[in-house]
Structure 1
Amino acid sequence: MSRTVDYFFTPQSPWAYLGHARFVELLRASRRAVRVLPVDYGRIFPLSGGLPLGQRAPQRQAYRLVELRRFAEHLGVALHPEPRFFPVDGGPAARLITAVAQADGPDAALRLAGAVMAACWAEQRDIASAGTLAELLDESDLPPERLGAAQAPEVQARYEAQTQSAIDAGVFGAPTYVIEGELFWGQDRLDFVRRALGL
């Protein structure tokens, strides 16, 4: 089994945002390699019984907001449960993170992913906007030309391949951490992730 951790997420997920910084800390402490894999849950949900947020029952939508507030307060993480730009298309940011992972490595991709998630959930910025993504590249000390590279067919192909890898692994929700073939779904499973990493 590979000792590389696979990190499947979508950049507009509040749950990925709530777990991101803690997950990065665990990676650093364990010195494990990571594959940063933003994926398209629009493809995954229909195959796994999931529903987009707007199609879920009202009581599930209401409870989601309660849980977001609870976790944000518990973790001391700034979060607007109903940010100005949400729902939002995560595709442009996902492809940008994919391009950065390919060109600049996983640490840079993790840094950008964290910035994108915070932009959506803490700063209420439009992460589908090219202007916002250009700003986030600059704020993350990454080359501006990555924005253009993210439009390349090979990046789209890689994004689609990552999504297929998630499907093949049995991923159904975000975030999902895969360690030596074992899936851990959700930021509230990070204590189990810690143990799996030997920490």
Structure 2
Amino acid sequence: MPRTVDYFLAPQSPWTYLGHERFVRMAREAGAAVRVRPIDLGRIFPISGGLPLARRAPQRQAYRLVELRRFSEHLGLPLNLHPKFFPVSGDAAARLIVAVDQQDGSDAALRIAGAVLAAVWVQERDIASDTVLAELLRECGLAAARLPQSKEPGVQQQYEAHTQAAIDANVFGSPSYVIDGELFWGQDRLDFVQRRLSSDH
């Protein structure tokens, strides 16, 4: 029986970028349904012990860069360690992903999410800019109307609901994948996600 994955993501996360296409591919190969759930880490970190990057200890900040470089090289994915537009608010992009999901479905939401992630970590583009978000919609073949729709109250309410669902599922970082109530945190856990998707129980 095909499984459903709750995919909790922050659209400005480098780790989410590094895992996104692999996750999309494995979910497709497993015939799994994906619920795309952008989340606000600004709400999640204070109640889960997380810290914004700028407030982390220097050792942790330095090691983060080592790990990003390692995974980028290991996976053969381009990644700017110091992108021009980072740190950046992910709220506008998250709402756009929600709007696309509501209007066009999860496959389209996964497509625009991937474009947003690459915009930050590969293309040096500002995902807090409406101009950039409009360009990404066009590049993904999605309707320009999704941008104004992303500013509607119902989209914000859904974004908040996704964040609350993440809190309820004990999510504390991005990306997180929840399958049948089981939490997998981080793109480096995708091997376990794949095993869970292919298991019979």
TM-score over 0.5 for the pair: yes
Paired AA for residue 48 in structure 2: S
- 5+ residue gaps, structure 2, are none
Distance in 2 (CA, whole Å) between partners of 1:81 and 1:186 is 18
What are the equivalent positions in structure 2 for 1:125-144 lying under 5 Å apart?
A: 125-144=125-144
What are the equivalent positions in structure 2 for 1:1-199 lying under 5 Å apart?
A: 3-198=3-198
RMSD: 1.2
Q: Give the CA deviation at 1:3.
A: 2.7
Q: Give the CA deviation at 1:8.
A: 0.1
Paired AA for residue 129 in structure 1: S
Paired AA for residue 23 in structure 1: F
Distance in 2 (CA, whole Å) between partners of 1:42 and 1:191 is 28
Paired AA for residue 106 in structure 1: S
Paired AA for residue 16 in structure 2: A
Distance in 2 (CA, whole Å) between partners of 1:167 and 1:181 is 13
SS state of the match for residue 198, structure 2?
coil
Q: Give the CA deviation at 1:41.
A: 0.5
Moved over 2 A (4+): none
Paired AA for residue 145 in structure 2: E
Distance in 1 (CA, whole Å) between partners of 2:47 and 2:3 is 28
Q: TM-score, normalised by structure 2?
A: 0.97
Q: State the Cα deviation string for residues 40-61 of structure 1 (Å, max 9, x = none).
A: 0100000000000000001100
